[in-house]
Amino acid sequence: MKELTDAFKNIAERLKLTYADIRITEAQTEAITIKNENLEELVKTSQAGFGVRVLHKGCWGFASSREISATEVERITRLAVEISESSALAKREDVVLVPEPSHIDNWKNEVKEDPFAVSLEEKIKLLLEANKALNVAGVTNRLSFYNAFREYQTFANTEGSFITQEIVECGAGIQAVAIKNGELQERSFPNSFRGQFHTAGFEVVREFDLVGNAPRIAEEAVQLLSAVECPDTVTTLILDGNQLGLQIHESIGHPIELDRVLGYEAAYAGMSFITLEKRGKFRYGSEIMHIVADATLPRGLGSFGYDDDGVPAQRVDIIKDGIFLNYLTNRETAHIIGNTRSNGTNRADGWNRIPIIRMTNINLEPREGTLAELIADTKEGVFMSTNRSWSIDDRRLNFQFGCEIAWEIKDGRLGRMLKNPTYTGITPEFWGSMDRICGAEEWRIWGTPNCGKGQPSQTAHVGHGCAPARFRNVRVGIKG
Amino acid sequence: MSDKEYYLTKERARKLEADIFTICDEALKWSRADETEIVIVAQDEALTRFANSQIHQNNFERNATVTVRAAYGKRVAKASGNLLTKEGVRKVMDDACAIARLSPADEDFAGLPQGEFTYPFKVEYFEDTASLSPISRAKALLDVFKLGGDSYNAAGVLANSAITFVVANSHGIRVGCNTSSTKFTVLYTGETSSGYAEDFKRNFSDLDILGSAQRALNKAEASKNPYKDLPFGQYTVVLEEECVATMMMFLSWLGFSAKSYQDKESFMYGKLGEKITGDCITIIDDASDERTLGLPFDAEGVPKKRIVLIENGVAKGYAHNWKTAKKDGVESTGHHLGMDFPLPLNLVLFGGTASDGELISSTERGILVSRFHYTNVVDPKETVITGMTRDGTFLIEDGKITKGLTNFRFTQNILKALENCVGMSRSQRLASSFFGGGAVVPKIKVEKFNFSGKTEF
């Protein structure tokens, strides 16, 4: 790698660039899917390449290649310069980077059990056992999922940084699908869309207890077929952590990305309602709301050592006492809001993508009490769990979510199971109606491995720590 | 690029394809598996992204995906890498063989495709598109930025790519093609409104960049200072192509795959031959329709067949790969995508008889919707989706567009919307869907479309 980064530095110096960096990455993934006790998918992938980003004539240029050699590094760096010069044809303002000290470091996350070293037989055996345990009368399809990721990255820039990182992520899940008379119901554990994910090793998969939870999940899927419909009404809503995580993702995580606010994502994913003048004074939610962006959180799927600007991972207050305080920034945008340093959120989906602002772990800090106590404290309402559907407008105000399952709450107790639960709201009104958050004993970090943004498209792995919380006067049961 | 040797001219693309065939031939000789398949996609992609009427992200990528599927009896596994050399392909093959040997049997595995195939059409490769320089892209955008003036910021992408796609297997299948593609998207955003347009072609010179930009700007100007007080509820709507394409792609994901049918999850399950939507609805998948920018074969090397999915409202068929076809005792339709879920991605919704203007002029009171945003599934069996309108929503009164509107949330059953379709434009075009893919579709007019919420912008 040193030979490549030296070749890059030599050419960058000769071309007298304002700034340049190179990222050389090697990534591996493993995926297993078992459906109805049959192996449907067993895939291993590997990808290697490098990307060069140059800041020249006030504009960015980015080029990347799978051919890893010193000759190709020189050719790609020259191409990146040519691209930056073409960008300068229509320049309105120069790109300005806030200062960052140079870093020479090597970072890796804690991995107790390397998922790639655990035998395939053992992984398949665990997934098969969980699949068998889902075999309850009335279940139509049973699924078990497993994914692991590893990325080695070398980052070097013209300011003297040289950083290597190794990030290992792992996750698994199960799903039961029950179909009858043209109706489909599904239950997932620990989370929907292939399960729960952490920046950690195989130890997290062992902790999930997929086999132990499978019968309950399967029975719930079947019970949903005969459950009553979630009523169309306005009521008190308690969200389980695995749904609240996605609520945070869509209605807080994305709107606080400063590149969105500045219009960089306007044509595709959209912009943000939380415009620049709102910083420091806008009431985003109720006074009990404390949101942090924390890339340092052990096991968080949005955790790392350094972002792809070479800025160390940080923990930053985003919303405190319900007031909006800070955006997610990178070195390019931090100065626009008067910050003298990036808070370290610039990340790329691999060697062949330019880094853009991404969520890290966007967490709702816990308050107090258990979920059982929260339900006991609620006279009437609905408790919803596990995401099934999500949608939000292009400024992140009007949202609608669907969950897999819900229960009515009557006089502090869970009552009848409700099917097809949905709820809708407007972001600041919804967070303003939050009047109670459970405590640390209920707090979990939920991994979202499928966050899409950018063109060409990039998928980020991000996390959301939260405990169940209660919201007042929410419209539920929206019908099509 | 000053280094002219780098870009894939037609001659270099042909040589790349020939080299890949040679690598595949040699690699297949090394394989120790009972059956082996190699799929290689080599791609150069350049994408100039702009926002606030300047270029802010400007990219070039040279990549490849080498995927090997190895089978020992019914024990099957896949591995992939991106090293496009003999050694790289061999490494991927060794990985696939190693994990296939350790895997349990896939009882549904029906072997890899074999037989004499005829490929019914060829695709073109445009050298000028494959080798379009960053300067050429930037120059093409200068007039787009200028068009918006001081009042409207332009955002979008101008991209070009060159693709070499090869499939080879141990039963003698050897098929490949070179093709190019290009796309332009633009969104103009003003103080109170926005307008969007897009264009997809194989040949850069066929893109109508300024024409698209003008259409987007017209939308933005026509919808400024939108009326905020129209309540949500049921309305007659005229849905433009991006909305209809999104509905088509959701139908594809929710029901047009043999896998979802065999797993009983498709909305069409048990309803083949039954009327499931309106008489005027005929949906086919036809990669040979040049407007879909389709390829002649799938990721198993099987020719893509034209399939009728819904005909005059009646559920007719779904897409197969080799495995699902054998399970049903039929022939593959050539819709393998590399995963265990065949899918039609070259959808065409037949058009009607109305001019675009007649859809509006025949509407006493309704809403014109230009584009959907962040649409997602609420109920997969009932084909209920939810999403937002964006980039130009208008009130129609007495057959005329009278004003722009703030945006609505819709929650709507797709099949019911198509059942309530009372008009379709003659014109059709390829339009994109928010979560990927697209379809060749007309504009449609739908009664009782359900808006379930709204925004203030």
- Structure token pair of residue B39: 């799929």
From its phi and psi, is residue B135 left (phi > 0), alpha (psi between -120 and 50) or beta?
alpha
Q: Is B165 on the interface with A (CB under 8 A)?
A: no
Helix (H/G/I), strand (E/B), else coil: A210: helix
Residues 77-106 of A with CB under 8 A from B: 78-80, 82-87, 89-93
A398 neighbourhood in chain B, CB within 8 Å: 388, 407, 409, 453-455
- Residue B290 main-chain phi, psi, to 5 deg: -55, -30
State pTM to two decimals.
0.97
Asked if A469 contacts A436 with a C-beta cutoff of 8 angstroms, the reply is yes
How far does B379 lie from chain A, in Å, by closest CA?
8
Closest approach of chain A CAs to the CA of B120, in angstroms? 31
Q: Is A207 on the interface with B (CB under 8 A)?
A: no
Q: Does A193 touch chain B (CB under 8 A)?
A: no
Per-residue pLDDT of chain B (457 residues; tens, 9 = 90+): 556 677 888 999 999 999 999 999 999 999 999 999 999 999 999 999 999 999 999 999 999 999 999 999 999 999 999 999 999 999 999 999 999 999 999 999 999 999 999 998 999 999 999 999 999 999 999 999 999 999 999 999 999 999 999 999 999 999 999 999 999 999 999 999 999 999 999 999 999 999 999 999 999 999 999 999 999 999 999 999 999 999 999 999 999 999 999 999 999 999 999 999 999 999 999 999 999 999 999 999 999 999 999 999 999 999 999 999 999 999 999 999 999 899 999 999 999 999 999 999 999 999 999 999 999 999 999 999 999 999 999 999 999 999 999 999 999 999 999 999 999 999 999 999 988 899 999 999 999 999 999 999 9
Residue A3 has what pLDDT?
A: 87
pLDDT of residue A479: 86
pLDDT at B48: 98
Q: Is A234 on the interface with B (CB under 8 A)?
A: no
- Check residue B2 and give its pLDDT: 55
| Cα B214 from Cα B338, distance rounded (Å) | 39
Longest dimension (CA), chain B: 72
Q: Measured between beta carbons, which residues in chain B are less than 8 angstroms from residue A41?
A: 78, 339-340
Q: Is B457 on the interface with A (CB under 8 A)?
A: yes
Residue in chain B closest to A184 (alpha carbons) equals B381
List Cβ neighbours of A42 (8 Å cut-off, separation of 6 or more).
A31, A32, A120, A124, B76, B77, B78, B99, B100, B103
Instruction: Choose from A30, A87, A426 for mutation: most chain B CBs within 10 A.
Output: A87
* pLDDT, position B7: 82
| Residue B1: predicted pLDDT | 53
Reading the block at residue A224, the tokens are 């949903």
Q: Which ipTM value was assigned to this complex?
A: 0.96
pLDDT computed for residue B81 by the predictor = 98
Give chain A positions within 8 Å (CB) of B187.
266-267
**Chain B environment of A353 (Cβ under 8 Å):** 59, 61
Which residue of chain B comes nearest to A268, CA vs CA? B156
Distance CA A435, CA A384 (A): 17
Phi/psi-derived region of residue A477, left when phi > 0, alpha when psi is between -120 and 50, beta in every other case: left
Which residues does chain A have within 8 Å of residue B436's beta carbon, measured at their own beta carbons? Answer: 457
Q: Cβ separation of B104 and A39 shorter than 8 Å?
A: yes
Which residue from A minimizes the CA distance to B195?
A267
How far away is chain A from the Cα of B450, in angstroms, using its nearest Cα?
7
pLDDT by residue for chain A (480 residues), tens only, comes to: 888 999 999 999 999 999 999 999 999 999 999 999 999 999 999 999 999 999 999 999 999 999 999 999 999 999 999 999 999 998 999 999 999 999 999 999 999 999 999 999 999 999 999 999 999 999 999 999 999 999 999 999 999 999 999 999 999 999 999 999 999 999 999 999 999 999 999 999 999 999 999 999 999 999 999 999 999 999 999 999 999 999 999 999 999 999 999 999 999 999 999 999 999 999 999 999 999 999 999 999 999 999 999 999 999 999 999 999 999 999 999 999 999 999 999 999 999 999 999 999 999 999 999 999 999 999 999 999 999 999 999 999 999 999 999 999 999 999 999 999 999 999 999 999 999 999 999 999 999 999 999 999 999 999 999 999 999 999 999 988
Cα–Cα distances (Å) from A203 to A208, A298, A446, in that order, read: 9, 14, 16
- A113: which 2 tokens? 């059990």
Q: Tell me how far apart the alpha carbons of residues B421 and B395 are, in angstroms, rounded to a whole number.
A: 19
Is the Cβ pair B376, A391 closer than 8 Å? Answer: yes
Residues 189-208 in B contacting A (C-alpha not used; CB under 8 Å): 189, 196
Residue A46 touches chain B, beta carbons under 8 Å: yes
Q: What pLDDT is recorded for position B25?
A: 97
The conformation of residue A250, written as its DSSP 8-state character, comes to I
